[in-house]
Amino acid sequence: MASDGPADGVGGGRGAAMAQGLRAYGLIVGMWVRSTLAYRASFVMMAFGNFAATALDFVAIMLMFSQIDALGGFSLPEVAFLYGTSGVSLGLADLLLGSMDRLGRRVRDGTLDTLLLRPAPVFAQVAADRFALRRLGRITQSLLVLGWSLTRLDVDWTVGRMLMVPLMAVCGTAIFGAVFTAGAAFQFWAQDAAEVQNSFTYGGNAMLQYPPTVFAKDLVRGVTFLVPLAFVNWLPALRLLGRPDPLGLPGWADFLGPVVAALMCAGAAVAWRFGLRAYRSTGS
Amino acid sequence: MSGAAAAEQLIEVDGVEKVFSVRRKAGRLRRVRHEVRAVDGITFQVPRGEMVGYIGPNGAGKSTTIKMLTGILVPSGGRLRVAGIDPARERTRLARRIGVVFGQRTTLWWDLPLKDSYELVRRMYRVPDAVYRANLDRCIELLDLGPLLSVPVRQLSLGQRMRGDIAAALLHDPEVLYLDEPTIGLDVISKAKVRAFLREVNAERGTTVLLTTHDLTDIEQLCRRVMVIDHGHLVYDGGLDGLRAAGDGERTLVVDLERELPPIEGVPGARTVKVEGPRQWLAFPAAQSAAPLVAAVAERYPLVDLSVREPDIEDVIATLYAGGRVPEGRAAADPA
């Protein structure tokens, strides 16, 4: 997503830097996966714990629906659809980039310097560091909920609508990934800011699990225009479920997901470059 | 070093500076910005194959220099080349050609066994299999790494970790090896092992080594050339002998007389600094020969035994630091 600052691309252009980054990411991730699987029982327990912790979320929603028939006008399968799409997106972004919130600590204790000594973009190294395969637990759980909701939803499944679901997951992952990246970039200046980013990622996910109709309009506006998390699942899901948009945006806004995702990734990449450049000119 | 004029200059540092802008609290809300010139216009060159000591008190600018030479930090001014590469602009290309060891922190992956870290280095640096095997085997043998390979880095002792780090820095056959305090916190045996290894790498591979240290024994045993930095300025660049002469420049003649006598007087160029029973200490300028002195003493006093003590390098450096003056002889800003 972001290469290593203008300085690094010089050798072979941006494409080469990207390829170098992906390769390094793959190498480091591969090693962490191997080392995780060396203790298989421990891995299974961790992944199950991750699965169970997120599953409790959904149990709470099911308990709620044992008392009510609709939440903000949404049925249980509809809420499950929101829950599943948001969960899969966050889960994937968390799996791929979730370790980036350690950047602040690396800046503080100086271990970021050791990453700058290796022949690979820093972004790839930071993203792959301590790759946590156990996070598959959250993804699995969200996929199960999503799968169940797809069998229950009252939607006329055309090919276009079917394709929208994986597209939502991809764009949602990119949007959450951009937030993880921008949050990490912010830590170049404010080393203790991991919680700020967590409130947008994990906190945002907790919000997107519920229908937008249960939240105050200003909050919905905030996650549409300020930090456009609404494009992860709310807006496309409203279209898919044939629901009106509480903000009354024009219809084409529902399809802006890929554009928003691309813009956010570009913004996050710029923030990352700025952060790394600032670090390299000032040190810790 | 004058003889190295024809040799390739592997490291070229020309008027390099690094200025940090620091904000400091002044009063409850006010913050004052002020500039810290961590490295203030230093110039030196290191020819291929040389082993150079880089010393100075804490905060003098040693680590900042190393960080600029590796491309971690971007200089505020001046020109810098390592193996012909501008480190700040082409950090990753340079990374393949240098090895770095930080004494204070490991460059290995903390939670992984040593051999996994090495494997990752091999693939990340694209080290050819044969080269990797040969280098690893040699490091395992010379640094006693065999029993440590399957131990996670976090469980290694400081000395073991340091050996592990040095091996990791050499697996890809770097042309330059930077060592930032490689012997800090090590016991005597580990220090000796590390030094012997570095000497061999330098001698056999011709690897250029730049090392910072607080342990002057490292310098004495490894480096013929030493650079002293203080307050961001290079205050000395030359041989170890020259550094001794550059200090206060006094050697000491220790004489044992037949019996207790009043302090020796009337020896030109020397003064008695200490008397302890029949033993007396005479200080004299380092540049002066001891022979006429000994003759003068022997002529007038019942001499039993004598020895000449070179100025202690630590004292010399302490005087350099305290005075902050540029010693005569070899001008620091102008390496021949």
CATH of the domain at B257: 3.30.70
Last residue of a domain, one of B177, B209, B244: B244
Owning domain of residue A118: 7-278
Same domain, B203 and B266: no
Structural domain contains residue B13:
no
One-letter amino acid at A267 equals: G
Same domain, B98 and B213: yes
Same domain, B172 and B231: yes
Which segments of A98-135 does DSSP mark as H helices, in order? 103-109, 112-115, 122-128
Same domain, B132 and B261: no
Kindly report the pTM of this predicted structure: 0.82
Is residue B175 within 8 A of residue B97, CB to CB? The reply is: yes
- Using the beta-carbon criterion (under 8 Å), do A119 and B106 form an inter-chain contact? no
pLDDT score recorded for residue B326? 47
Owning domain of residue B51: 47-73+83-244
Structural domain contains residue B59:
yes
- Using the beta-carbon criterion (under 8 Å), do A7 and B90 form an inter-chain contact? yes
Q: For chain A, what is the domain count?
A: 1
- Residues of A within 8 A of B72 (CB-CB) are 113, 116-117, 280, 283
Same domain, B122 and B226: yes
- Using the beta-carbon criterion (under 8 Å), do B90 and A111 form an inter-chain contact? no
pLDDT score recorded for residue B336? 36
pLDDT score recorded for residue B243? 78
Same domain, B229 and B313: no
Interface test with B, best of A18, A117, A282 (most B CBs within 10 A): A117
Q: For chain B, what is the domain count?
A: 2
With CA atoms as reference, report the closest residue to B143 among B201, B96, B184, B88. Answer: B201
Structural domain contains residue B6:
no
Structural domain contains residue A35:
yes
> CB burial class (10 A; 0-12, 13-18, 19+) of residue B115?
middle
Helical (H) or strand (E) element with A234: helix A234-240
**What's chain A's length in residues?**
284
Closest approach of chain A CAs to the CA of B131, in angstroms? 18
Last residue of a domain, one of B212, B244, B276: B244
Q: Which of B74, B92, B106 sits opposite A8 (nearest CB)?
A: B92
Q: Is B89 on the interface with A (CB under 8 A)?
A: yes
- Residues of A within 8 A of B67 (CB-CB) are 113, 283
Structural domain contains residue B304:
yes
**CATH number for the domain harbouring residue B233:** 3.40.50.300
Same domain, B316 and B226: no
Q: Is B102 on the interface with A (CB under 8 A)?
A: yes
Q: Interhelix angle for A76-97 vs A136-152, to 10°? A: 150
Same domain, B190 and B317: no
- Using the beta-carbon criterion (under 8 Å), do B92 and A110 form an inter-chain contact? no
Last residue of a domain, one of B191, B226, B244: B244
Residues with pLDDT less than 50, chain B: 1-5, 326-336
In order along its 284 residues, chain A shows pLDDT tens digits of 444 444 443 445 778 888 999 999 999 999 999 888 888 899 999 999 989 988 988 999 999 999 999 998 899 999 999 999 999 999 999 999 988 988 988 888 888 999 999 999 999 999 998 899 999 999 999 999 999 999 999 888 999 999 999 999 999 999 999 999 999 999 998 888 778 888 888 889 989 999 999 999 899 999 888 889 999 999 999 989 988 888 888 888 888 999 999 999 999 999 999 999 999 887 65
Closest approach of chain B CAs to the CA of A241, in angstroms? 47
Contacts of B8 (CB under 8 A, 6+ apart): B47, B48
Closest approach of chain B CAs to the CA of A191, in angstroms? 16
CA quadruple A34, A37, A39, A44: dihedral positive or negative? positive
Which residue of B lies nearest to A117 if distances are taken between CA atoms? Answer: B95
d(CA B97, CA B125): 10
Which segments of B58-128 does DSSP mark as H helices, in order? 62-70, 91-95, 114-124
Q: In degrees rounded to 5, what are phi and psi of residue B39?
A: -130, 125
Closest approach of chain A CAs to the CA of B91, in angstroms? 6
Closest approach of chain A CAs to the CA of B116, in angstroms? 8
Tell me chain A's radius of gyration from C-alpha atoms. 20
- Residues of B within 8 A of A130 (CB-CB) are 111
d(CA A271, CA B240): 48
Rounded to 5°, angle at Cα A22 from A18 and A28: 140
- Residues of A within 8 A of B73 (CB-CB) are 280-281, 283
Structural domain contains residue B330:
no
Rounded to 5°, angle at Cα A196 from A194 and A200: 115
pLDDT score recorded for residue B220? 85
Structural domain contains residue B36:
no
Is residue A4 within 8 A of residue A121, CB to CB? The reply is: yes
